[in-house]
Amino acid sequence: MTTTHIYKIIDRDEWDSARACGRYTGSPDDRRDGFIHFSTVAQMKVTAAKHFAGRENLMLLALDAGRLGEALKWEPSRGGDLFPHLYGPMPASAVVRSWPLPLGEGGKHEFPEDAT
């Protein structure tokens, strides 16, 4: 499966650390599962609601999937949809855009219009 951008929701402090060292080794959930979880543009809002509900201090990252090489695998997950999973550290240089992901009314995250 080919796509230009994939998306990662990440704690702002973790992103700051990843930028400082040049790579991201994943959240505790990522490390438990053995790969870094990503979403497509069509999947990111459901991912936020399911796994990040009510959490503040988050960032949305857009990555160039082509920069991740063969470590990026597309695997079935929620509802049989194919999700991008990275088996290895995420190079900070693969991130092409980042946005704050604030909570809006009703506790739902407000996604930037230019992320879609």
Question: In the chain, what are the domain boundaries?
Answer: 5-105
Consecutive H or E run containing 35: none
User: What pLDDT score was predicted for residue 77?
Assistant: 84
**Is 7 in contact with 41 (CB distance < 8 Å)?**
yes
**Is 18 in contact with 69 (CB distance < 8 Å)?**
no
**Radius of gyration of the chain from its Cα atoms, rounded to whole angstroms:** 13
Pick the CATH number of 5-105 from 3.20.170.20, 3.60.150.10, 3.40.50.1820, 3.40.50.300: 3.20.170.20
Residue range 5-54, pLDDT digits in tens: 999 999 999 999 999 999 999 999 999 999 999 999 999 999 999 999 99
Structure token pair of residue 56: 């503040």
Res 97 pLDDT > 50:
yes
Place of tokens 């949305």: 60
User: What pLDDT score was predicted for residue 2?
Assistant: 47
* pTM beyond 0.85: yes
Q: State the chain's mean pLDDT as an integer.
A: 93
Phi first, then psi: what are they for 15, rounded to 5°? -65, -40
Res 3 pLDDT > 60:
no
